[in-house]
Structure 1
Amino acid sequence: MRLSIWPGAGQRYDEILEVARHADETGWDGVYVADHFMDNAAPGRDPMAPTLECGTVVAALGAVVPRVRLGTLVYGNTYRHPAVLANMAATVDHVTGGRFTLGVGAGWQVNEHEQYGIELPPVKQRLDRFVEALEVLHGLLRRPNTTFAGEYYRLAGAVCEPKPVQDPLPILVGGGGERRMLGIVAKYADVWNTWGTPDVIAHKSAVLDEFCARQGRDPKAVARTAQAHVVVGGELPAMPMPVIGGSPQRLRDVIAEYRGNGLDEFIVPDGLLGKGKDRLQAMDTIRSFKDA
């Protein structure tokens, strides 16, 4: 099972770079960056907290961190036109020498849409638009030119050159909705990602297998990735997103559960790992469990 780190974009670039370089030097497999322009509006959150822009950070890391894969969790389709995004992704793949994973999602965070005047449609329309965007991305990144006439996007003999170094550049789709999103994953994704504890991921992965069967696609063609907040020693805080760990032994056991359930990659957000040397030591502890 691959092991990757997810440094939060709400910290200074030098801190993100420290995490990425340490991961690169100590045997981690990847580094991911989230795509948001501000902190999510919620009680206890700072509405003025700074947030670095995802695409710029990924390109910057790709130029100076030489080994690990780089990826996005995930570019929001509502504010990233897929034709522009295809060119961004191809460029980052050249910057990294073929180490980029293009993570995309339908978009969801309300406050950034409200503040920037960007439409956030109802879920059905958002998913309809996302499906069209995936058609556009597949065409531009994998075919010489693309003509597409949809409800939301229109391309006429469009090119995206140079093509990525990777053939194909992997497209990761983020989302866990069992009524429709996992069907979209089954049809379009090379990699699937969602939040969840081992039991949740095992259940949703089985649902994804069913959707793949309906598409006539080998379920093994879709790599499975997941994340949860991680605590290395100490009590698990109450959070809206899943949290694992506590004692080192408990953390080792939960990581083994993910591996036993067939997860291909576990991604660790760095938000509960501390800062400075404490964070690097926590990363080393987690890394020691990768193959345990």
Structure 2
Amino acid sequence: MRLSIWPSAAQPYADMLEVARHAAGTGWDGVWVADHFMPNLPAGVRPDTPVLEAGSLVAALGAAVPRVRVGTLVYGNTYRHPAVVANMAATVDHITGGRFVLGVGAGWQVNEHEQYGIELPPVKQLLDRFVEALQVLHGLLRTPATTFHGDYYQLTDAVCEPKPVQDPLPIMIGAKGEKRMLRVVAEYADQWNTWGLPELITHKSRVLDEHCATVGRDPKAIARTAQALVVVDGPVPGDLTAPVYGGTLAKVAQTVEAYRELGLDELIIPDGLLGTGPARLRALDTILKITKNI
């Protein structure tokens, strides 16, 4: 099971770079960056908290940090035309020498769309548009030229050159909806990602397997990735909306082992509850040691 760090983009770039370089230098496998422009306004978070932009970050981190894979977790489809995303992805793959993972999702955060005047359509339209975007991405990144006439995107003999270093560049889809989104994962993804503790990931992974059987896809062809907040040593907050585990080293180890046993390919660690500065780096070392010793 690979182990990757997800440094929050709501911190100075120098701090993100410190975390990413430390992870790369100590044996972690990847660095992920979320695609948002502002906080989602949970309790206690200022609405004007600075947030760095994901496309610029993965290019910068990919150039500055060696060895580890770098990916988006995940690009929101409503923010950028998929042809633009394809060219961005191919460029970052060249910058990293073939270490980029293109993570994409349908888009969801309401306040970003409201403030910037970006349309956030009803769910069916949102997902229909996302499926078309995936077809565009597959065409541009994996074929010489793409002609596509959809309801939302139209391309005529469109090219994306240079092609990525990787053939194919892996496409990861962030998805939790069992009825349709996991079906989309079965049809189009090389990797799948969602939030959840081991029990939930086990359940949704089985649903994904069922969709793979329906569409005639080998479920082993889709890597499974997941994340939850981690408390290495201390009280676990009880007012979080995101899943969280840990509190003691034993509980961290127990949960990491459960992820491994369910067959998870990559465990992603958000840095939101790991502290700052030297304390955060010590927490990274502790998590890495626990994972390697299991």
TM bin (shorter chain):
over 0.9
Where does residue 67 of structure 2 map in the other structure? 67
2:257 is paired with a residue whose SS is: helix
Where does residue 269 of structure 2 map in the other structure? 268
2:246 is paired with a residue whose SS is: strand
Deviations 1:52-111 (A, max 9, x none): 000001100011101100000000000111000000000000000000000000000000
2 CA distance for matches of 1:129 and 1:247? 44
Matching residue's letter, 2:251:
R
Gaps of 5+ in 1: none
Matching residue's letter, 1:88:
M
Where does residue 164 of structure 2 map in the other structure? 164
1:289 is paired with a residue whose SS is: helix
Deviating more after overlay: 33-42 vs 182-191: 33-42
**8 Å CA contact retained: 1:93, 1:166:** yes
Where does residue 57 of structure 2 map in the other structure? 57
Where does residue 287 of structure 1 map in the other structure? 288
Where does residue 120 of structure 1 map in the other structure? 120
Deviations 1:238-266 (A, max 9, x none): 21000011100110010000000000000
Gaps of 5+ in 2: none
Matching residue's letter, 1:8:
S
**8 Å CA contact retained: 1:194, 1:225:** yes
TM-superposed CA distance for 1:164, in Å, is 0.1
Q: Report whether the alignment pairs 1:217 with 2:235.
A: no
Q: Report whether the alignment pairs 1:249 with 2:250.
A: yes
Where does residue 206 of structure 2 map in the other structure? 206
1:230 is paired with a residue whose SS is: strand
2 CA distance for matches of 1:170 and 1:56? 19
TM-superposed CA distance for 1:45, in Å, is 1.9
Q: Report whether the alignment pairs 1:155 with 2:155.
A: yes
TM-superposed CA distance for 1:168, in Å, is 0.2
TM-superposed CA distance for 1:43, in Å, is 3.2
Deviations 1:11-55 (A, max 9, x none): 000000000000000000000000000111333221110000000
Deviations 1:159-185 (A, max 9, x none): 000000000000000011001000000
2 CA distance for matches of 1:134 and 1:290? 34
TM-superposed CA distance for 1:283, in Å, is 0.2
Matched ranges for 1:39-118 at <5 A: 39-118=39-118
TM-superposed CA distance for 1:237, in Å, is 0.7
Runs of 4+ in 1 over 4 A off after TM superposition: none
Q: Report whether the alignment pairs 1:15 with 2:15.
A: yes
1 CA distance for matches of 2:139 and 2:132? 11
2 CA distance for matches of 1:283 and 1:151? 46
Where does residue 230 of structure 1 map in the other structure? 230
Where does residue 136 of structure 2 map in the other structure? 136
Deviating more after overlay: 40-49 vs 164-173: 40-49
TM score, norm. by length of structure 1: 0.99
Where does residue 196 of structure 2 map in the other structure? 196
**8 Å CA contact retained: 1:2, 1:290:** no
Where does residue 260 of structure 2 map in the other structure? 259
TM-superposed CA distance for 1:289, in Å, is 1.9
How many equivalent pairs are there?
292
1 CA distance for matches of 2:41 and 2:121? 18
TM score, norm. by length of structure 2: 0.99
1 CA distance for matches of 2:42 and 2:66? 37
Query: How many percent identity over aligned positions?
Result: 70
Q: In angstroms, what is the RMSD of aligned CA positions?
A: 0.6
